[in-house]
Structure 1
Amino acid sequence: MSTISPTDANRQRMRQAMAELDKGNGQPFVDAMADDFSWTIPGDTPWSRTYSGKQVVLNELLRPLYAQFAAPYVSTTRRVMADGDMVVIEFDGRVTTKAGKAYNNRYCYVCCMEGGLMKDLMEYLDTALVSSALEAPPSPSPAALAA
């Protein structure tokens, strides 16, 4: 009887989530977030900060971001690599904003997994493109600023 290693389980979980995202279904990616999940976007863009808590990620990052898109977001996963509780995902995203700007970015997500769920995600991307193509998000909630 063979058991799957934590590395393989984490790789498989995120590979499946990204395969669904590539088809336009983001729910498995959201389902892979722990309730106390945090997402960090480094840099000095209006979007750059740490979003702490799954609901904060959904309400202050993902919903305002996707609200700017004029068409469905299209992603193409290039690689999913894992080592223990760390998963690295390289992918491309393509979409046009409601302002008519192309937002075609390349991403590298470095995810820390815990219990089969994403605990932390560090997102590396073209921050100059973020600043030029996207409108600033709404102001963070007071609770997010206190975190």
Structure 2
Amino acid sequence: MGSRSGWSAAAGLAIAGVQLMISDAALAQSVQGMEDHNRALVAKGFEAWANGTGSPYDLLAEDASWTITGNSMASRTYPTKEAFMSEVIRPFNSRMQSRLIPSVRKLYAEGNTVIAFFDAQGTARDGKPYANTYAWILEMKDSKIVRATAFFDSIAFDDFWKRVPEKPAP
């Protein structure tokens, strides 16, 4: 009897272990699926930006916060999509003669975070080129960017921001 109950306990543990492995595999597959989905969304946003048909900013949730790190003239946290767009992106674009075009070096995804490492260049309204290298850490939720942290060359940015005045809105 003792060996039979020992066998039952061992079988029960083995079954529990198999169930745990299956559960872990399903969770890993689910996380991989989320990472692939988020990476694909961001890649599509960059492709639209490069083609002039949209941008990764289209993925921003209305209450998304965007932090520009460092000491540039734009460095701070913007608490909403509209604050970021109205205080940085629209003024930036108004300083451009030809639009900024990104070239993605690499997109990384882990969990709900996508990291975009890319270069972007265009021509400022004063005819001089603007080029910079960026790293964006994008936290995703429900297929939207809810928090972003951006790194770039603040010297190149500040030179452009000071040198080229914002074009008045029509």
Q: Hey, what does 2:160 align to over in structure 1? A: 133
CA displacement at 1:122 relative to structure 2: 0.8
Match for residue 49 of structure 2 among 8, 12, 21: 21
| Contact 1:97–1:134 (8 Å) recurs in 2 | no
CA displacement at 1:75 relative to structure 2: 1.2
Which consecutive residues of structure 1, in runs of 5 or more, have no partner in the other structure? 139-147
Q: Hey, what does 2:13 align to over in structure 1? A: none
Pairwise CA RMSD of aligned residues? 2.0
Q: Hey, what does 1:121 align to over in structure 2? A: 148
| Contact 1:40–1:51 (8 Å) recurs in 2 | yes
Which structure dedicates a bigger proportion of its chain to helix? 2
Match for residue 71 of structure 2 among 26, 33, 44: 44
Match for residue 86 of structure 1 among 88, 108, 113: 113
Give the TM-score of the pair, scaled to structure 1.
Answer: 0.84
Distance 1:55 1:46 in 2: 18
CA displacement at 1:55 relative to structure 2: 1.1
The size of the alignment, in residue pairs, is: 136
Match for residue 133 of structure 2 among 83, 90, 106: 106
Higher RCO, 1 or 2 (CA under 8 Å, sep at least 6)? 1
Greater gyration radius:
2
SS in 2 for 1:25: coil
| Contact 2:139–2:145 (8 Å) recurs in 1 | yes
Distance 1:9 1:30 in 2: 17
Which consecutive residues of structure 2, in runs of 5 or more, have no partner in the other structure? 1-28
Residue identity in the other structure for 2:100: Y
Would you identify which runs of 4 or more consecutive aligned residues in structure 1 move more than 4 Å?
none
Report Cα offsets for 1:42-89 as digits up to 9, x if no partner.
122211111111111111111011000011221111111101101000
Q: Hey, what does 1:143 align to over in structure 2? A: none
User: In percent, how many aligned pairs have the same letter?
Assistant: 26
Distance 1:69 1:26 in 2: 17
| Contact 1:89–1:109 (8 Å) recurs in 2 | yes
Residue identity in the other structure for 2:150: E
Residue identity in the other structure for 1:119: V
Distance 1:25 1:44 in 2: 31
Match for residue 95 of structure 2 among 30, 52, 68: 68
SS in 2 for 1:110: strand
